[in-house]
Amino acid sequence: MTRKAALVGLLGTLTVSVLCSCSNGSATNPFDSGVPKSSPSSTSTGSAPAGGRTPGSSAPRVTTPLNTGKFTDKPCDSLSESQLQKFSVTKRNGPRTDGDGASCSWSFGANGETYAGLTYATIRNDGLSRIYDQHQANMWPDGYFEPTEIADYPAAFNSPKNERPKNCGISVGVTDELMFTVFAIEAHNQDACKAAKNLANAVVETIKAGQ
């Protein structure tokens, strides 16, 4: 089984993957951009970010929903041209549709040694509550769930299996009905949670610019 195939099996319904490794070039990669390092270290119920909850929903309410139509239709546009240059993207793969919805992936670095992808979970309409519900149902006894925020939007570091700091996933609610998920795998000695968070911030920045 290839490493990429193994990743798909690990994620299950969380079908976004970001495979991150070191680059010897001078270009910025997702590990080096300006978002502060964030590496959750243990499984936790955590406390939800402020903003309350939608009735019938387990996740925090999205108080300023984003119009994602142009990006769910064209997920590869979720990173702007300036972001592609900042992250030293050398190849785009996609768009495509997988088990959760619209997705895209990119290769980074001079030799394409870093692979990144994202998926908008358009197949369902429960948004980030899906992750909260799975956590509350104790579906991930060997995984992790830690609420956070991305650019003032509710988010949660999460994965069915805890392999941090090498691997790290994060899901972001952009409306009460829609989330996107980023997952990072890093083979060297950098912080995959930082990479996932940097990429998630970049996606939200692009969506906001497209309103």
Q: What structural domains does the chain harbor?
A: 14-21+56-209 (3.40.1000)
Share of the chain above pLDDT 70, in %: 68
Q: Are 159 and 167 contacting, i.e. CB atoms less than 8 angstroms apart?
A: yes
Q: Please give the Cα distance from 135 to 156 (Å, whole number).
A: 11
User: What's residue 7's pLDDT?
Assistant: 33
When pLDDT is cut at 50, 70 and 90, the band that residue 168 belongs to is confident
84 close to 27: Cβ distance less than 8 angstroms = no
pLDDT at 76: 92
What percentage of the chain exceeds 90 in pLDDT?
45
Cα–Cα dist 12/140, whole Å: 12
pLDDT digits (tens, 9 = 90+) for 127-158: 999 999 999 999 989 999 999 999 999 999 99
For residue 123, the tally of other CB atoms under 10 A from its CB is: 14
Q: What is the DSSP string of 142-203?
A: TSEEEEEEETTEEEEEEESS--TTTEEEEEEESSSS-EEEEEEEESSSS-HHHHHHHHHHHH
Half-sphere exposure of 200 (CA within 13 A, CB side): 35
- Predicted local confidence at residue 189, as pLDDT: 64
